[in-house]
């Protein structure tokens, strides 16, 4: 059973690894709902208690699916997000991603209220354990969005607040309005910018870092050798064109190190993240039961100082080729 970690200073206990449910929407290959529910149940059994969803994943389908999986289960800690507009009849601010497409973001208080009620209805719960702002709305001061989110806490519809894809400065402004329990940001052996100013700020404020795409959207498992034309990762310059071949060569030494330690590359990537601090909670996604077991074993791996130094050198910040998502 995976050990527990505290989600932010004085916050609730959750499994040191959570489960990222986005992968169940077909972005990285087809997924089957019945199998998906079994996979979520297996994640909960291993102690991956935090199940991560968002209203935009599968345009609401992911929350319905997670809702079916957690119904009647007291061991699940359900996290979801709002702010990426996924409905045709709603407006928002264009946010270029740097990957050739824009997201539409809405952080206005009226939208937040409406989005939360829709999420609760799809999930079939009275209250969300953790509710994130998926991306800050460039047209709405983050203070206004967080004040609206805090109203939902006071109304008993949300237990803890989170932010995602924010700067250190935005976290400070938001946290001054209402205590933030967790910030979600991409953090892994191929994306380490969080270490520069975000993570030190979170530590100062007592906020947990939930690491999204902790396996580099699959790259760090060493199993991605090609992608289907419809795979969402075709948008990602780290996979597209020559990106995958270039990065495979650059990360070959870290894959070799995993083999030397009799670990899978996925386990090494997750174990390294878990060693970065008790306040880091990675949320790997998989559609496969057997990989839940493989990934959960990362919690039991102990890396010594010399091994951590070697990983730090082999997967130094900036090693990956290709611009990451904003
Ligand atoms: N806040 C945000 O903006 C944001 C953005 C992206 C993601 N997220 C969250 O972060 C979660 C995880 O991110 P992610 O799904 O992008 O990437 P990830 O967890 O880094 O990687 C998922 C991929 O790795 C593969 N995989 C998992 N375990 C494996 C193993 N042991 N061996 C080989 N392959 C393995 C999966 O394939 P199989 O399914 O075939 O196993 C899947 O394609 C998401 O589900 C979502 O909840 C948040």
Whether this prediction's pTM lies above 0.95 is answered by yes
pLDDT digits (tens, 9 = 90+) for 172-185: 999 999 999 999 99
Radius of gyration of the chain from its Cα atoms, rounded to whole angstroms = 19
Number of domains in the chain: 1
Does some domain include residue 146? yes
pLDDT digits (tens, 9 = 90+) for 70-124: 999 999 999 999 999 999 999 999 999 999 999 999 999 999 999 999 999 999 9
Does some domain include residue 230? yes
Average pLDDT over residues 47-63: 98
CA 22 – ligand 1 centroid, Å: 7
* Nearest CA, atom 36, ligand 1: 286
Output the ligand 1 site: residues, CB below 6 A: 20-23, 28, 52, 164-165, 184, 212-218, 221, 223, 266, 283-288, 291, 294-295
Q: Residue 106 and residue 134: Cα distance in Å, rounded?
A: 10
pLDDT band per the 50, 70, 90 thresholds, residue 55: very high
Does some domain include residue 325? no
CA atoms within 13 A on the CB side of 98: 8
- Among the listed residues 304, 218, 211, the one whose alpha carbon sits nearest the alpha carbon of residue 266: 218
Q: Which residues contact 266 (CB under 8 A, 6 or more apart)?
A: 215, 220, 221, 222, 284, 291, 294, 295, 298
Ligand 1 nearest atom to the CA of residue 218, by list position: 24
CA 204 – ligand 1 centroid, Å: 28
Does some domain include residue 320? no
Does some domain include residue 52? yes
CA 203 – ligand 1 centroid, Å: 25
Does some domain include residue 26? yes
CB 278 within 8 A of CB 286: no
Q: Residue 14 and residue 3: Cα distance in Å, rounded?
A: 8
Does some domain include residue 228? yes
Q: 195 is in which domain, residue-wise?
A: 4-314
CB 192 within 8 A of CB 317: yes
* Pairing mode, strands 102-105 and 93-96: antiparallel
CB 243 within 8 A of CB 216: no
Active site residues: 57
CATH classification of the domain holding 31: 3.20.20.100
pLDDT at 232: 97
Does some domain include residue 324? no
């Amino acid at each position: 059973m995976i050990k527990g970690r505290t989600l932010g200073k004085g916050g609730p206990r959750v499994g040191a690894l959570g489960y990222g449910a986005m992968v169940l929407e077909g972005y990285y290959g087809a997924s089957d709902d019945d199998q998906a529910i079994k996979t979520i149940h297996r994640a909960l059994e291993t102690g991956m208690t935090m199940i991560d969803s968002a209203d935009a994943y599968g345009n609401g389908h992911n929350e319905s699916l997670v809702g079916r999986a957690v119904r009647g289960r007291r061991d699940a800690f359900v996290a979801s997000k709002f702010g990426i507009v996924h409905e045709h009849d709603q407006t928002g601010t264009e946010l270029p991603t740097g990957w050739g497409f824009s997201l539409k973001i809405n952080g206005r208080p009226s939208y937040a209220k409406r989005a939360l009620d829709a999420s609760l209805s799809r999930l079939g719960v009275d209250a969300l354990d953790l509710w994130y702002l998926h991306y800050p709305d460039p047209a709405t001061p983050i203070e206004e969005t967080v004040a609206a989110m805090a109203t939902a806490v006071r109304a008993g519809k949300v237990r803890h607040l989170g932010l995602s894809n924010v700067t250190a400065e935005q976290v400070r402004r938001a946290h001054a309005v209402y205590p933030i329990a967790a910030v979600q940001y991409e953090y892994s052996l191929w994306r380490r910018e969080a270490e520069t100013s975000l993570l030190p700020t979170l530590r100062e404020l007592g906020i947990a870092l939930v690491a999204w795409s902790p396996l580099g959207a699959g790259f760090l498992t060493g199993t991605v050798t090609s992608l289907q034309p419809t795979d969402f990762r075709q948008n990602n310059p780290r996979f597209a064109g020559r990106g995958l071949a270039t990065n495979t060569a650059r990360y070959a030494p870290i894959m070799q190190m995993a083999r030397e330690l009799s670990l899978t590359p996925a386990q090494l990537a997750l174990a390294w993240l878990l060693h970065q601090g008790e306040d880091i909670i990675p949320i790997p996604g998989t559609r496969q039961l057997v990989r839940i077991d493989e990934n959960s074993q990362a919690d039991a791996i102990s890396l010594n100082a010399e091994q951590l130094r070697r990983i730090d050198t082999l997967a130094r910040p900036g090693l990956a080729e290709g611009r990451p998502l904003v």
